[in-house]
Amino acid sequence: MISFRIWIPAQNSPGISLDIRNESRADKADILDLMVVLNNEGATHFKGKVEINIPDGFRNISGNSLQVDMKPGEHLFLPVKILVSNNAGSGEARLAFRLSDQQNKTVVEKQILYTVTENNSMRITAENPVIYMNKATDSVEVRARVSNLGNRKQNVTVVFKIPEADQGNAFIEKKGSIGVQKDSVFIFRFMPSRIRSRSSQISVNIAGFREPDREIFGNTTVSIQNVSSVQRYEDMESTAFSNFTKNTITASYRHAGENLDMYQLVGSGGFNLPSGYLFIRGNIYTMNHQSDPIVNNTYLTYHRENSEFTVGNINKLLEVSMFGRGVEYAYTSPDKDKKIEAGFVDQTFSLIERNSFLKYGYGFYTRGVLGAQNASRNISGTYIFRNDPYEKARHHVAGTDIQSAFGKDWKMNTKIYGGLSFYENNQPTKPSLALESQYSGMIKKISLNGNYFYSTDYYPGNRRGILQIQQNFSTMIFKDHYVYANIMASQFSPKFYFYNNTLNSSNIRLDAGINFPKKGNFGMGFGYQYQEENSNSYNNFFNAQPYEDTKQLKAQRLTEYLTWLSPDKQHSSILSMETGLVRYPDNDKPQYQMRVSGTYSYKWLTLNGIYQHGSYFLSEYAFSKMLNKSNTYEKLSLSAFVNKNFFDNKLNITSGVSYTDDILYGKSPSGFLNLKYSREKYALYLNSSYFNYSSGSFNNNLFTIEAGVTVNLRNSTLDPGKKGDIKAFVYYDLNENNIYDEGDKEAAGYLIMLNTISFKTDPSGYISYRSIPYGKYALKQVIQQGWYYDETEFTVDKHHYSLEIPLHQNGTTQGKVTYDFDTKTAVDFTPKTGGILFNIYRNDQLVQHIMTDDNGEFASFLPSGNYRIELNKNSLPTNTYCDRSTAAFKVEAGKIAQLEPFVIKVREKVIRVKKFGS
């Protein structure tokens, strides 16, 4: 878009004046409609010319030289039309008008400034959206065309995302500069990994970024089709949250300290069955001087339709957690909205434990969910039974979870559980209760969220004898200042009949503060902290009776933080400080305390440091007392970590060193070094660590080293339904009777597409698609020179499905485009012959897009029938048109239909001259 901005005063000669009027229309932003107004106020006849000087990207339709013939007192109006091309540079453009006499002497000059609005439009397309790969050893070339549709030079980065064997991705970047109204092709060649090359499809995602802000301007995808004649089904929509599984086995050896050796074998994976699939996970390890190996986190799950059966180690995180060996059954409704599960667990750590069955307790559970797919509104009910030999009790726990939403801002989760415990040894039957509520929402611009939990002292769940209140507030003030307040209070007092001592502890913490808006690369905030801790757990350290009155630590602090991020976003750091006063047990006088921490990061390097003066928790103060240290507790912690890849990400090195110095740990250096070398089918790793503990006269060193190898098996997309195989025979139906009989011939090397998967027939004309889920499949047309097959849909409902595909001969349609224009009267345009688009219709249904080549010619191969071809006018060059843009034609098998050329014409100049006498 162009806007009129500044008039620059003209240099007028006596008697002659020049003025310029802007008559441009808003609906024609690419045309400047100006009127040059000349006045001869002198007493003599004037002859001369007006010369117009315009920058690149502008074209004067009226011509750059206009003749002038004016009598005394005459006014002359000269219309000037200036076409603004797409390649007109953005910013200020200077247009100069010069009036000269017959001796070419300047009489009057005037310049006007126009602003060309910046246009940074870009487009990215794949030159070949589908690439066929015949062999696993084929190299693939992906070509992305980036078009600069704007009016300034663009620096771009094109990122190719290549899927790797482990379902990860490799990102390859190509950089370049593209001139105004120019195209550039970015090419990336790669060899698919052996594991990925066996897949039916590989999708290469391509994204274009505008530099320097890495603003994305477009993306596209290239599908690389494996056209092997035999392929196995893969769910192309699978994600990390679906039934995609990586099948791996890892064997390792670990040596720790002076005499501990451990050998471990870990693996997981799954495979499809004719009906359903199996998933297996295993973990077995043994140590020297150990009679039996340990087998844990090992189970087998069979999925069939909507049911799941699991046997082995069961790890169930419920209100009463269940861990051990057992069985589980789960059923999910077809709409995924309802689910029920039940299981039995023998609480034994190892699957092959020699102790008698049920010795360490057992339990069973059942759980049902309504609205499992609805995150805003669902409800579940749970019942758990646990026999606990340690408490000598039988616990029953039942309850419900309710998830609900109110409007778009408010969400709440409520849990209500009740327990009933039957104790041996004449203990009373004990009822119990647990309540929990979590919510989040907004009141005006204030964000609130809270968590409230209460359980009675004898409640047999995971959280026994707890009262916890947590409430958070936050909002924005002054548009860009963030303020917050967080309150947390808790009381912990569980009780047990088999454990006489009474534990009692409580905590209160308040955090409030403000985060200021960033200034350049810096950010900062200030806050206030209040902390109160009460507990009788450390009374022995204070020479007090173990469970008499609680000891208290109370502190108030001011907090500050400062962050920095470098302009190139490579470096970052954060510095924080807490300072305040604390009141310790057995000491009524407030003490000063502080903590300073800092972090610096650069790509693969992270540095951390912490210095603390004064005890922040009762545990720190109590251990200081235990060691008879009268000095103030101090702690220094320093660490450095490195994570870097080498050799095209094949080798990963992770390493770190740290040093801690305080009363509890003494002077304790430590470090680790981990190496991992990864290839498509295997990975090798070597991990090592060192730790030194030195406090007083006690000193201990621990060195650990571990080596292992991981073997990557073929990955799977697991499907719980029934599956079958499609075997299709493709032949040339030479006698056109849709039956393979005498005279017909098998079609070797012919492309067939089932749904979105492409196959190339083997020498006998067969293709095979294996382990496909029951359901509907579509045979889709792939037009090939000379022959075609009919599209159809069919249903696979048995394990072996046979299909015959007859090929019929098609016809050929050819055409071209030509230009017809007068070079003297034609407006400015850029002729092109390649890339002009045509659409072909049959019965008003679009059947094919075709494009002209660099010679302006096109060809199409179609089944017999009547068709209509239509030129896409949007693909024509600017300032051109075509009077005849559509044509009907007939296709006959084995014949060539030659179309009349499509003639492209060019618009002509329009010149207006106005003369008025006085």
Residue 164 has pLDDT above 80, yes or no: no
Other beta carbons within 10 angstroms of residue 242's beta carbon come to: 11
Amino acid sitting at position 352: I
Over range 854-882, report the average pLDDT.
87
pLDDT number for residue 14? 61
> Is residue 619 within a helix (H) or strand (E), and if so which, with residue range?
helix 618-626
Please give the pLDDT value at position 12: 46
For the segment 508-513, the average pLDDT, to the nearest whole number, is 97
Return the percentage of the chain with pLDDT > 90, whole number. 45
Q: What pLDDT, on a 0 to 100 scale, did the predictor assign at position 393?
A: 92
Q: Is the pLDDT of residue 280 over 60?
A: yes
Average pLDDT over residues 514-533: 94
- Tell me what pLDDT residue 643 has: 95
- Kindly report, residue by residue over 413-464, the tens digit of the pLDDT: 999 999 999 998 878 899 999 999 999 999 988 999 999 999 999 999 999 9
The pLDDT score that the predictor gives to residue 869 is 94
The answer to whether 731 and 750 have CB atoms below 8 angstroms apart is no
Name the more confident of 341 and 771. Answer: 341
Q: For residue range 696-722, what is the model confidence (pLDDT) as tens digits?
A: 667 788 999 999 999 998 877 788 889
- The beta-strand segments (E) located in 822-871 are 837-842, 845-851, 857-862, 865-871
What does the mean pLDDT of the chain come to?
87
Distances in Å between the alpha carbon of 533 and those of 224, 340, 453, 490, 755? 62, 43, 19, 10, 65
- Given a contact cutoff of 8 angstroms between Cβ atoms, the answer to whether 97 and 109 are in contact is yes
pLDDT digits (tens, 9 = 90+) for 558-582: 999 999 999 888 899 999 999 999 9
pLDDT in tens, 102-123: 888 888 888 887 777 777 888 8
Residue with tokens 């791996």: 248
CA distance 238 to 161: 17
What is the secondary structure of 222-274 as a DSSP string?
A: EEEEE--SEEE---TT--TTTTEE--EEEEEEEEETTTEEEEEEEEEEEEE-S
pLDDT of the residue at 165: 47
Instruction: Look at residue 8 in the predicted model and tell me its pLDDT.
Output: 43
**Poorest-confidence range of 174-178, 398-402, 671-675?**
174-178
- Which are the contacts of 135, defined by CB distance < 8 A and separation ≥ 6? none
3-class secondary-structure state, position 196: helix
Instruction: State yes or no: pLDDT of 911 exceeds 60.
Output: no
DSSP string spanning 345-395? EE--SSTT--SPTTTT-EEEEEEEEESTT-SSSEEEEEEEEEEETTTTEEE
pLDDT interval class at 381 (50, 70, 90) = very high
**What pLDDT, on the 0 to 100 scale, is given for residue 243?**
67
